[in-house]
Amino acid sequence: PRSWEFFFDALGQTSKLGQRGEGRNLTGGKIPWATWKSTEGDDIDQPDGITNQAVIKVLEDNKDKPFFIGYGIHKPHDPFIAPKKYFDLYPEGKTKLADEPSDRSKRVKLAIPNSRDFAKFTDKERREFKRAYQACTSFADAQVGKVLDTLDRLELWDNTIVILMGDHGYHLGEHDWWNKVTVFEDCARAPMMVWVPGAAGMGNETQGIMEFVDLYPTLVDFADLKAPHKLSGKSIRPILNNPKNPGKKAAFTQVNRGDKVGRSVRTARWRYTEWGKDGQYGVELYDHNKDSGEYHNLAKNPEYAKILSGLKKQLDQSFGEYKGQ
């Protein structure tokens, strides 16, 4: 954005040492991004390591004045490339695969994108994929740790708000899928950690519901700033002060399958999803009290008709008119 005073992204700046290593494409090249590589060199030989070094310098240069830093780490995004030491954390062939229940419901056709390449994976290839993702996650975690260590060294924790978030979740074999772009919990739920100096609930986990649109209102609230216009989200101050606060009544997610749209609502207990207008291409209902993996679709069970009707009403009120085919 034009408002940034400084912008830096080292994507593509891998050193020659960091380009060397062992790896392969798991689909024989059919899906170019499904590639892993265990590289030579260290963190600084990879783009995220270079960017991380720049972030630390910005912190050092601005420690005595107000600042806002937006810092994005590319990994564990594909291709799954990280220094060898992070692969070594996960012994080859020992990675545990997703446990898919044998009594799961027949899947709604549009729930998973129409790709059969992953179905051809052997267990060895599944373990390779997951191990590479885990290695990249540990690499990313190390970069975050260096920034947090810098906050320690510069003694900035008492006047700095820190938010660590992912832009989405990810399937690592759950529902026979190895990617994102679903509205299952594995994908729709994203990592989130927040530190606000003085907030009473710091250091605790919460089941409170929030959405990405709530982040900016939260920052405005705690920084004692005035929002420039009416905002869609709400500050999560109540959750940060009391982790037992339930937060929002529901969170909403949408994904496209060509000209067809899947719309989903998640409450503290339920996930309800419609594919197409009024669910013409499929409806899903999952009870998270009993089925956190979302394998048993209750939508056609008359026992849950009242619950389904109430969730559909919430969905329609939030999304408004359906705009797909």
Q: Quickly list DSSP for 112-181.
A: S-S--TGGG--HHHHHHHHHHHHHHHHHHHHHHHHHHHHHHHHT-GGG--EEEE-S----SSGGG--SS-
Residue 280 CB contacts under 8 Å (≥ 6 apart), including other chains = none
How confident is residue 118, by pLDDT bands cut at 50, 70 and 90? confident
Q: How many domains does the chain have?
A: 1
- Please report whether residue 273 resides in a domain: no
Question: Would you call 82 helix, strand, or coil by DSSP?
Answer: strand
Residue 114 pLDDT greater than 90, yes or no: no
- Please report whether residue 278 resides in a domain: no
Question: Would you call 203 helix, strand, or coil by DSSP?
Answer: coil
pLDDT at residue number 2: 80
- Please report whether residue 142 resides in a domain: yes
Q: What is the dihedral of CA 226, 228, 234, 239, to 10 degrees?
A: -30
- Please report whether residue 83 resides in a domain: yes
Residue 79 pLDDT greater than 90, yes or no: yes
- Please report whether residue 244 resides in a domain: no
12-18 average pLDDT score: 95
Task: Please report, for residues 79, 127, 137, the alpha-carbon distance to residue 131 in angstroms, rounded to integers and kept in the order given.
Answer: 13, 6, 10
- pTM score of the predicted model: 0.94
> Which domain does 77 fall in, by range?
1-158
How confident is residue 122, by pLDDT bands cut at 50, 70 and 90? very high
pLDDT tens by residue, 296-312:
999 999 999 999 999 99
d(CA 27, CA 55): 36
Residue 322 pLDDT greater than 90, yes or no: no
Quote the tokens at residue 320.
């408004």
- Please report whether residue 30 resides in a domain: yes
Q: What is the dihedral of CA 32, 38, 39, 42, to 10 degrees?
A: 130
Q: How high is the mean pLDDT of the chain?
A: 96
pLDDT at residue number 120: 86
- Please report whether residue 266 resides in a domain: no
pLDDT tens by residue, 202-219:
999 999 999 999 999 999
β 35-39/80-83 pair status: parallel
218-233 average pLDDT score: 94
- Please report whether residue 125 resides in a domain: yes
3-class secondary structure for 27-95? CCCCCCCCEEEEECCCHHHCHHHHHHHHHHHHHHHHCCCCCCCCCCCCCCCCCEEEEHHHHCCCCCCCC
pLDDT tens by residue, 58-75:
999 999 999 999 999 999
Closest CA relative to residue 218, chosen from 293, 179, 163: 163
pLDDT tens by residue, 179-194:
999 999 999 999 999 9
pLDDT at residue number 295: 98
pLDDT tens by residue, 250-305:
999 999 999 999 999 999 999 999 999 999 999 999 999 999 999 999 999 999 99
